[in-house]
Structure 1
Amino acid sequence: MTHPSTDEVRDAVSRVAKLVTAAASRKQAAYTEAKQAEAALLATLLQELAGPALTAISGRLQVSSANTFESRSCCLLAGDATPRRAAAGTYLGKALYCLTDGELVAVEYAGSWQPDDPSMPGTWTASLHDTAPREAVQAFRLDDVVARLSKSLQATAEGNSRAADDLDERAKRVAAISLLLRR
């Protein structure tokens, strides 16, 4: 049995390295293309929902432990509505919100709490910055965003349906009382 020469081994390694590099390049290109498609889908989705639909599912964003709120109304799309306690007495968290005009806002939470007395409230703040759909899909999973939007819209629709049913029932009661008063 003959062993390959050093040059043959180098050539073989070089060919394999080129194949691996080419495959990695194709994989990166596919990933980039998929993220661009997700960003476009997110932008389109938010454009479609901007206005009344987002207003219906929006609320106020708490930006500090001192109950300070962002002045603009927004809807939580992904992440944490408030920070979570992390190890060593820190608060951490991030979230993605959508303003009622369809613009995206990324939120990062930071703060501290007393690890030796967890019952003591800590302090935290949130920093906000406008973000593009492309950045949003890099930081958050698009399927999580769509699921949360769907759940919020569905809950609002059910709430509106119950409210309409309640109003209808109240109207019937008022009509019955009105009939009784006329007698």
Structure 2
Amino acid sequence: MNGLPGGAGVPQGPYGPQTDPNVKAMQAMMESCFGKTAISGVMGFGMGGLFGMFMASMQYDTPYHVPGAPGPAENLKALSTKEQVKIGLKDMGSRSYGMAKNFGKVGGLFAGIECGIEGFRAKNDMFNGVAAGCLTGGILARSGGPIAAGGGCAAFAAFSAAIDAYMRSPGEE
């Protein structure tokens, strides 16, 4: 059933030729390395922001302090509820933004490297994700020295292999 008589005005999607140029352009962008990298970076930024907000809300230590006050209990008494909420929200925002930047960087870096490897090898298999994970982990840990870079490579490659193996496993149908 195509909706209209004779299927007029209904794009056929994966089962036939797509005629809408906007849909074709969107598909081309989603299949390009630049598009995949940008989408992964943006989605990672959003997910990191939400994750950071959750983690900041679960912190036991508090950012409430008044310079010059003797101790933590006295500091809480010195601030009004409005000031505590203001400081708490500002702290939550800064933690969320920091985590969002990190997740966005990891997502964009991994997707770009994986897409580049896939294009170079002209294959879509598990090795692409493992190699991209190793390179991403090594790049992210490079400032810690060669041992940290090697550990980052191994850890991120193992994580990528586990996720890729799970995603490629046959579903329960």
Q: TM-score, normalised by structure 2?
A: 0.29
Richer in strand (by share): 1
Counting helix residues as a fraction of each chain, which structure ranks higher? 2
TM-score scaled by length of structure 1? 0.28
